[in-house]
Structure 1
Amino acid sequence: MSQRVLITAGASGVGRAVAEAFSEAGAQIWVADVDTQALSICPEGWRRTRVDVSDAAGISALFAEIARDWGGLDVLCANAGIAGPTALVEDIELDDWRNCLAVNLDGAFLCAKHAAPMMKAQGSGVMLLTSSTAGQYGYPRRAPYAAAKWAVVGLGKTLAMELGPHGIRANVICPGAVEGPRMEQVLAREAQAKDMTRDQVYRGYASGTSMGRFIEGRDIAGMAVFLASDAARLVSGQVIAVDGHTVNPDPKI
């Protein structure tokens, strides 16, 4: 039977690349996203649900629908996230802090909470949580994002320990700077905060890796498909960066 795969924030960006890669591998695809327009242009064979991952009732309803229509879930890709504010810690509003953690951390928790009993019942499953290289280093002017992504790492390692006895694996993927519209927004905000140009910030990010470049969504997708495959059957509790090897998490020009 083909894998049944749920990808949050799967209608565009990295999530869309992950969904496409699993689809090409023969999986059944269910994408959840807040972007109705992006959902509307997903392939017809994919299941699609509009939901905010920080909405507990919405996530509960999503998993009830998955249980009813699919009868189980083989792979959870908890990929949804937002950048949060770009500011010094003393200038960050509590509401902005909470909103960033709600999407990046609460969303991953809620999905894992509902996927766990489903996977336990079938005695198998894979959970892939998307963190960030910001979950491995400090990230000046991005305190809420870094805090959330570090917490996702802790969540992933704990899930691996709790669920391993039930035949369920959990791993965390840490993307670096990914080419695309979302990163362009980050570059623009950081350029303004640091009084630099967009190109200066871009070069700073690229030069902060040993390979000197940004990554693409397909790089994350390839790792996700591998980690969900039998080739990775004993890979669990790992935090794997796909980032061109970050050597300086806060590069300066």
Structure 2
Amino acid sequence: MARLNGKVAVITGAGSGLGRQAAQMFAAEGAKVVVMDILGDRAEGTVKLVTEQGGEAVSVEADTTVEADVARTVDTAVRRFGKLDIMWANAGIVSRGGVPSVLGGEQLAFEDFPLEDWNNVLAVNLTGSFLCAKHAVPALRANGGGVILMTSSASSFVAYHSIAPYSATKAGINGMVRALSLDLGKYGIRVNAIAPTHGMSPNFLMEQGAPVVGQSYEEVQGAWDPSVSPIPLKLDRPPSLTDNANAALFLVSDEAAYISGLTLPTTDGGTLARVAMQFPEDMASHPSG
């Protein structure tokens, strides 16, 4: 039997990247999916992929920072499909500075970080997740329980250069997951998060509206050579969006019925197991550090 047979799921930020991949996967596992994205054409593109594979989905153009939009998305799920079982607050943005610089973005010193940009990162990543949870709860309670999933990040556990605002919001998600799992468990609602390390989409770092890549950072870099990868686990293929979506699928399925309050590092490959200092073996494999 399909793992999400008869379930209804809302996935935010599902117009590209992990959200798009998961929408297709969830639908293939029997779920009816509400594809929410701030870009309506991207959301429609995901719905088209789902329906082409025989699944059922509907798109909603909405902004997770706008409470009325989030409420409308949940209402769409209930009106169209009769209930809500899964709310995945997946939409997120990265702060300007560090990581985007690898694609030629602007490098900012922390002391120059604009307050407006801080507020924007906070609104999308943390407030947006809060609003998704808030408006999902009544529908989940009416359904006798369900699942809230959030997308955190490895940067909530370890430091990444020059993205302190982003890291702060993702660490906030981890705290919210723990708190909500305690508060909402009495309603049969589980709350968890995934924290991807590798296998994420380059669209995350691109300008809004850029073409959907549909592959991970590692996949678009060309021929895979595990010997030069910084990932301790050496496999004969690069990490993919599917690897992260698989972990999400497990957490929203009944197989994880007694898992709540967890932030699970996904597609990690042992990366977070490292100590901070580098040993000669590391330097020999990765001379650039």
TM-score, normalization by structure 1: 0.85
Task: Return the letter of the residue paired with 2:142.
Answer: A
Q: 2:242 aligns with which of 208, 218, 243?
A: 218
1:73-96 deviation digits (Å, cap 9, x = unpaired): 101111000112113321200000
Shift of 1:246: 2.0
- Pick one of 269, 280, 287 that aligns with 1:244: 269
Amino acid across the alignment from 1:82: I
Offset, 1:113: 0.2
Bigger radius of gyration, 1 or 2?
Answer: 2
Q: Does the CA contact (< 8 Å) of 1:52 and 1:58 recur in 2?
A: yes
Deviation at 1:138, TM superposition (A): 2.4
1:58 aligns with 2:69: yes
Q: Which residue of 2 aligns with 1:195?
A: none
The alpha-carbon distance between structure 1 residues 239 and 220, as it changes in their structure 2 partners (threshold 3 A), is: same
Count of aligned residue pairs for this structure pair: 236
C-alpha separation in 2, matches of 1:35 and 1:249: 40
With over 3 angstroms needed to count, the CA separation of the structure-2 counterparts of 1:249 and 1:208, relative to structure 1, is farther
> Structure 1 residues 68 and 83 mapped into 2: Cα distance closer, same or farther (>3 Å)?
same
Separation of aligned partners in 1, 2:146 and 2:255: 14
2:112 corresponds, among 85, 91, 116, to 91
Q: Report percent identity of matched pairs.
A: 35
Q: For residues 36 and 75 of structure 1, what CA distance do their matches in structure 2 show? A: 21
Measured after TM superposition, the shift of residue 182 of structure 1 is 2.6
Q: Name the counterpart of 2:25.
A: 21
Considering only aligned residues, what root-mean-square deviation do their CA atoms show, in Å? 2.4
CA–CA separation in structure 1 for the residues paired with 2:275 and 2:127: 25
Amino acid in structure 2 at the alignment position of 1:244: G
Q: 1:35 aligns with which of 31, 39, 42?
A: 39
Q: CA deviation at 1:151?
A: 0.3
Match 2:81 to one of 67, 70, 87: 70
- 1:48–1:54 Cα change, 3 Å: same
Q: Report the AA paired with residue 113 of structure 1.
A: K
- Aligned residue number for residue 230 of structure 1: 254
The verdict on how the C-alpha distance between 1:179 and 1:240 changes in structure 2, with shifts beyond 3 A counting, is closer
Could you list the runs of 5+ residues in structure 2 that have no partner in the other structure? 98-107, 208-220, 279-287
TM-score of the superposed pair, with normalisation by structure 2: 0.75
Which structure has more relative contact order (CA 8 Å, sep 6+)? It is: 1
Distance 2:23 2:201 in 1: 16
Q: Deviations over 1:88-134 (max 9, x none)?
A: 32120000011011111111100000001111122210111000001
